[in-house]
Amino acid sequence: MGDRHKTGSLLFVPRLSEVIAALDALWPPASAEDWDAVGTVCGDPDQEVSRVLFAVDPVREIVDEAVNLGADLLVTHHPLYLRGTTTVAASTFKGRVVHGLIRNGIALHVAHTNADRADPGVSDALAGALDLRVVRPLVPDPGDPEGRRGLGRVCELDHPLTVREFAARAAERLPATAQGIRVAGDPEALVRTVAVSGGSGDSLFADVRAAGVDAFLTADLRHHPASEFMADRGPSPLALLDAAHWATEWPWCELAAAQLDEISDRHGWDLRVHVSKTVTDPWTTHSPSPGAPN
Ligand SMILES: [Zn+2]
């Protein structure tokens, strides 16, 4: 195989159907949640794919980036349409995305909760970005005898850090966003074990409590669930860390791109794989309150 790659003469350009089959093997669509909408949104199975772009959000800036890059396939974590639609008119935000993609011959494929549950999945990538050692899934998939697939991850730190130090590490290691990291709990408490979940994680609070960890890092935490969680945690010093949704899922793009690169090498595909660095977090600036604790 190595010689083929050196000369490049025996590499071949795969078809979309072949690339999608490889992606579906990494993130089986059947493992997605019932409410989810994963898989190919647009694209011709017979079209050739020589350039792939990975991103979190299927939004217009990302479509523009895919066009400028000459990509034939855009793979995003978030679905474009989660529910049915009766129009893809370009006068709607989502319809414009569809038009931009089809006009430029770019297929769109989504791996959402199937990528969350996979091994490795979205929360493994998040744990990796934070230099955490993954111990097990926070909510193991009952269908996985090896106990490696599932939602969220329970992790260990190599050396204990205070909550404040761990938040600073997360702020430094995750891609920069206006939000940064918000913390609930004692900033001086020690963190040895952490649960992480890319994206909105407040539905996992009961599992976090049961896991007996020192901190939970996720995104989109709201006032009432967070406030009740802190009040209900009892004597435990369990802290909450809230990062920007986009920032917690972006590390998966790099992991997924590396996985596809490895598959491409194995198959002898002439495929270039890119990761978008465009920040698509909707929040663009943050003004700390004067005199607020930091
Ligand atoms: Zn998400």
Cβ–Cβ < 8 Å for 240, 214: no
- 102 shares its domain with 132: no
**Residue 18 phi, psi dihedral angles, 5° rounding:** -70, -40
Q: Is residue 287 part of a domain?
A: no
Peptide bond into 175 cis (omega under 30): no
User: Are 123 and 236 contained in the same domain?
Assistant: yes
Average pLDDT, the chain: 95
Q: Are residues 146 and 95 in the same domain?
A: no
DSSP H or E run through 160 = strand 150-162
Q: Is the pLDDT of residue 21 over 50?
A: yes
Q: Assess whether 131 and 230 both reside in one domain.
A: yes
What secondary structure letter does DSSP report for 72? S
User: Which of 179, 219, 177 shows the shortest CA–CA distance to 197?
Assistant: 219
**Residue 72 shares a structural domain with residue 126:** no
- 266 Cα–ligand 1 center, Å: 30
Local confidence band at 10 (pLDDT 50, 70, 90 cut-offs): confident
Q: Calculate mean pLDDT across residues 256-262.
A: 98
Q: Which residue among 227, 244, 261 closes a domain?
A: 244
pLDDT at site 7: 44
Q: pLDDT by residue (tens digit) across 208-237?
A: 999 999 999 999 999 999 999 999 887 788
Claim to verify: residue 49 and residue 125 sit in the same structural domain: no
CA of 245 to the centre of ligand 1 (A): 6
Total-model pTM: 0.94
Q: What is the amino acid identity at position 131?
A: D
Q: What is the pLDDT of residue 250?
A: 98
C-alpha 81 to ligand 1 mean position (Å): 14
Collect residues with CB below 5 Å from ion ligand 1: 199, 249
* pLDDT confidence tier of residue 5, bands split at 50, 70 and 90: very low
* pLDDT, position 1: 41
Binding residues for a divalent metal cation, as ranges, are: 77-78, 116, 245, 249
* Ligand 1 centroid to residue 198 C-alpha, Å: 7
Residue 180: pLDDT band (50, 70, 90) is very high
Question: Looking at residues 122-141, what average pLDDT do you find?
Answer: 98
207 shares a domain with 93: no
Reported as a pLDDT band with limits 50, 70 and 90, residue 3 is: very low
On the question of pLDDT at 193 being above 60, the answer is yes
Tell me: do 51 and 139 sit in the same domain.
no
pLDDT grade, residue 293 (50/70/90)? confident
Phi first, then psi: what are they for 8, rounded to 5°? 75, -10
Comparing CA positions, the residue from 50, 130, 118 lying closest to residue 259 is: 118
CA angle (243, 244, 250) in 5-degree steps: 105
The stretch 197-218 carries a mean pLDDT of 96
Residue 288 has pLDDT above 90, yes or no: no
What is the structure's pLDDT at 6? 47
Q: Same structural domain for residues 132 and 238?
A: yes
Domain membership of residue 8 as a residue range: 2-115
- In this prediction, residue 8 has a pLDDT band, given cuts at 50, 70 and 90, of low
CATH number at residue 13: 3.40.1390.30
Indicate whether 124 pLDDT > 70. yes
- Tell how far the Cα of 122 is from the centroid of ligand 1, in angstroms: 9
Indicate if 72 and 135 belong to the same structural domain. Answer: no
% of the chain residues with pLDDT over 70: 97
pLDDT, average across residues 38-65? 98
User: How far does residue 199's CA lie from ligand 1's centre (Å)?
Assistant: 4
Q: What is the pLDDT of residue 235?
A: 77
Span from the CA of 223 to the centroid of ligand 1 (angstroms): 19
Whether 264 is in a domain gets the answer no
Residues 159 and 194 in one domain: yes
Which stretch of 75-84, 154-163, 212-221, 284-293 has the lowest confidence by average pLDDT? Answer: 284-293
How many domains does the chain fold into?
A: 2
Do both 90 and 128 map to the same domain?
A: no
